[in-house]
Amino acid sequence: MRADHSRKLRQNLRIQRIGLGQVLGALARFSAMTGIEPRPLKDAALRGLDAGVALQRQVIGRQTMEKNRLFGVRERRVCTDIKAHIVWLKKRLSGLDHELRQRIKDSPVWAGQG
């Protein structure tokens, strides 16, 4: 274990000695050899859309968890609380769907693909 740790430490030290120019040069050579083109960074609208989709997935996941949790609960008060939370999650999901549709509709990238 100790030998493995010291090997990793030596590798890290070697990596730290490499300058940024050398790293960029190596990436450029690799790109030229493989024919891979670098992708442009995402713009703010696309990052916002990605964040909205991620939030939508989280709400769907939470809604599924609450529905599954409902089956195991016997106490009436807890059931009503869970059902109320499921209703709130459905409303939130509906709002997110509307938001995402609007973002896609307003996006110049997606305008021609709808």
Using one digit for the tens of pLDDT, what is the confidence trace for 44-65? 878 888 899 999 999 999 999 9
- Residue 95, CB half-sphere, CA atoms under 13 Å: how many? 8
Token reading at 45? 């609208």
Identify the three-state secondary structure at position 36: coil
pTM of the model: 0.61
* Mean pLDDT on 14-41: 71
Using CA atoms, how far apart are residues 51 and 100, in angstroms rounded to an integer? 10
